[in-house]
Amino acid sequence: MKTIMKTTFKLLLPFAFLAMAYFFYTKTNALSQPQMDMVKLAPYAIFIIGGVISWKFNRSREFFIISVMALSLAAHIYLPHLRGGLAHRSEIDFLLTLLLPFNIALFSFFRERGILSLWGALRIGAIAVQVLLCYWLLEPAQKDLLHTMGKAWLPVKLNFVTPHLSQASLFLFLAALVILIIRQVTHRSSQDISFIAVLCALFYTLHRTGDPVLYAVSFAASGIILIVSIIQDSYSMAFSDELTGLPSRRALKQDMMKLGMNYAIAMLDIDHFKKFNDTYGHDTGDEVLKLVASTIRDVTGGGKAYRYGGEEFTILFPGKNINEVMPSLEELREKVAKRAFTLRRSGRGKGGKSGRKARGSKNAKQKQIYITISIGVSQKSEKHKKPDDVMKSADTALYRAKKKGRNCVSK
């Protein structure tokens, strides 16, 4: 239930920022002129902060999207005043309706390969090429080409969607949205959710032409959404285990400091895991870790599971004693033992070579194995007053469970 709530919160948070931004926009007519000037300058301050944070955390996708948004807003505001007003705002806005969805979709595909790197230089080069291309398209000699790009290519009237966006712009926004939704379904990243929210904000803004306040509020909100995305992902990387999705050892240490007067701690270990890895390979071992993690995540009795490291897991039971948590731990042990794991690939020996017969065997591909865990549990007492002492006692109990023959709970 907690996992569902956290996931829902992450999905809705960027759109909550958009709702608050729109509410603020509806109230801007009550602001004084100095306040309005601050609102119009706010996006640039947010872009600088976002650029520094993304640079510091090496988040190149957000960095480059923020850079593109900063250039786009500056072009919308200041470019029409340059070169004697030669570049008209409508032409600039048309180019922005093409380049913004294109860049959001483009950078969503790129992996995090750094900013000050060869890959970063190539991406900076791609943005520079687009800037030069736009500058060239805004020349008077290219007016016919620009007009051709904005023509209706399909025999369908889309004015009911938005009268200010061309068919090419609508296609790019729709294509970018579909790409981001597919990526979210396949990768489940808070980054892609943030990119979707930014895309929606920019679509709404660009189809409402001629309102500089809306531009400022929308671009500022988009920058804040990307900054929050960086913070969320950085927190997740620091406090969540990437493989299993459980809270990491760092999160465990922090939560141990919050324990009250009474609590119990359980240490879990997958039986014969090293032998399993040697037999079936580390990739299959990782799948086993995920399977066990998905089971112990739903531990009852008010417990919270963490990945301690390797094949070891920890469960904290705040406000509980050993007698209260033993039924939950026994239930968890039985649940893991009864859950079959299907090998998707044939096994391999210690030498790392898979047998050809086993590889071609249908039965080998469908082989099912069963995993067991051993559990040691301890509680706060006069002998063990600190959480670290209780954890060491639980670890000692875990070794007793191993000596008893494994697949059991010891205290």
Label residue 225 exposed, middle or buried (CB < 10 Å: 0-12, 13-18, 19+). Answer: buried
Give CB contacts under 8 A, 24+ apart, made by 324-330. Answer: 324/264, 325/264, 325/266, 325/301, 325/377, 326/377, 326/409, 326/411, 327/301, 328/299, 328/300, 328/301, 328/303, 329/266, 329/299, 329/301, 329/375, 329/377, 329/409, 330/409
CA distances from 299 to 57, 122, 293, 330 (A): 34, 48, 10, 10
Residue among 62, 91, 287, 311 flagged as catalytic: 311
Residue 360 CA to residue 234 CA, distance in Å, equals 43
| 334 assigned to active site | no
User: CB within 8 A of 118, min separation 6: which ones?
Assistant: none
Residues serving a catalytic function are 311
